Structure 1
């Protein structure tokens, strides 16, 4: 299948590398308003460059587009791609508002094209193993969870482009970094019922938040605490999710939530838990999530099924971020039903 990349900034490199690693996937075109950004893909992969998106989307040889532009531009570009009958792989967040999100999903549905959202953390070996543990009900009734993203993004990170750290096109630590972890929480814990949050902009010169703390009550009755920041000195400190159940406790953690840090489960032999830990430690990254999502999109098209991470999944993660923002702005709990 033939791919095109829209937006040739930093994240586009991951998409191109993934495409190169997948048999039968071909990069045939790139599109960006800045011609210089397309040069590496033209020179190294012979991709055809376009500065005009409408012109590129008229190329009937393109099957799938990967949208790697600033978040605030996703809706307009995705709708245009859907109308051109191109399947869509869309970087997170799916959009900046639920209205835009629903427009994207509607356009994909009406044009009968597949829509996949980039939430690659689901494909980390340790994340998939924890999902398996929960699906097998090995922890029993879940009491609560802790979700932590304490990272460093210095001012130079935000100064790379004028849209970074803005509320309109980027958002803060919740929208840009922790949204992956919120997606995992929803994957593990189910539907949220209510959230409460506080946020601040403490150390970075940006419009959006650089630190956030929040609480979630899920429909199951389980609770979760979410703490996220980009203010940690001098580098990333921790990304982790811990789930506490009546029959066990499991923590995945480290700087990038790649390893089991704690596994105690009723009836599970110590030898088995050590084996799980060892297996993950041998190859903690596994096959990169971008590669798995792109490969899955190709299979979804061939098998005429939904992609592994759907537009609805992207909408749910965005809605949770927006609930956190509303709660922080109003200093009041927010019911999820308001977002449906």
Structure 2
């Protein structure tokens, strides 16, 4: 079979809210096929009109699947992923890899032993604005980076948590920074490099939940740069901003908008503001109850398909996804212990 006609067959575990982005992305590609799904709720499992089961072990043992996409609550990610590795399948894991580094490392090691790939959903990396900033920093157009500021002022009404029992719990959700903020912590470290220390505060101030809904942090990078992080889900009535400002000796760039999807400032010597294609608008959920990041899952899936058909590596793997999880865990440790935390952990 030629690569042009070959189809990568996907199975999907978890037919909840985010699954629609995965399914739409698979259906968009002529080289991908959604072959089977799994959900504990039969009605949700049936919605995609493919083979279905309520037992994920039945799904992952099928011999006709290439990649299993895991779209279940956070606290279930690591063990399900390990089971996928033991079933000798590749895996696409929604964020985060696990609730902590211990879980993530078990997951990563399982795939290392199996010889199969662990792909991670890092869709914000495909925002055209983010790619433009990444290119400018990588090409040293801003000179030495002095400092940066990440601001995520998003809204999650209490109804968001009340609608699903797992949300807001320590056991299955794990944390707001872990669930929503990790997207943008990933962008921060992807562009600025390794973090060597974190000092942070977290609290729960606007919701009746077990986890934090606000996090403030100071990060120091191996390069010598610093960054501040302001993250909250207590912005009302809707998302206010998701911005990243990067300040270098030769210029300043600020990405903004509700999902880091616009260029607000581009002041760089000998590097004019680029003309970029329009990105996809932020996800809108539950009839407008809240918004999320831009729905770039289609590019995540295309990167996986290109790996199999063209042997290109434009995807984020487990080790890459571990980096942002390590920073989030350092934030939690710092807040709990009220001290600066050194990395690596």
TM-score bin (small chain): over 0.9
- Whether the 8 Å CA contact 1:7–1:69 is kept in 2: the answer is yes
Q: Is the 8 A contact 1:114 1:301 kept in 2?
A: no
Aligned counterpart, 2:327: 320
Pairwise CA RMSD of aligned residues? 1.4
Aligned-residue offset at 1:120 = 0.5
Residue 95 (structure 2) pairs with residue 99 (structure 1): no
Q: TM-score, normalised by structure 1?
A: 0.93
| 1:74 lines up with 2:81 in the alignment | no
Which residue in the other structure is 1:283 paired with? 278
Looking at structure 2, the residues matched to 295 and 112 of structure 1 have their Cα atoms a distance apart, in angstroms, of 21
Q: Is the 1:114–1:306 contact (alpha carbons within 8 Å) kept by the matching residues of 2?
A: no
1:180 aligns with 2:175: no
CA offsets 1:113-167 (integer angstroms, 9 cap, x no match): 1111111000010100100001110000000000010000000101121110112
Gaps in structure 2 of 5+ consecutive residues: 1-7, 282-293
1:1-340 matches, cutoff 5 A = 1-42=8-49, 47-268=50-271, 272-273=272-273, 276=274, 279-280=275-276, 282-285=277-280, 288-304=295-311, 308-337=315-344, 339=345
Instruction: With the length of structure 2 as denominator, give the TM-score of the two structures.
Output: 0.92
How far, CA to CA, are the matches of 1:105 and 1:307 in structure 2? Answer: 19
Deviates more, 1:227-236 or 1:294-303: 294-303
Is contact 1:7–1:31 with CA below 8 Å preserved after alignment?
yes
Name structure 1 gaps, 5 residues minimum: none
Higher helix share: 1
Counterparts of 1:133 and 1:245 in 2: how far apart (Å)?
A: 11
CA distance in 1, matches of 2:60, 2:96: 22
- Distance in 2, matches of 1:158 and 1:126, equals 30
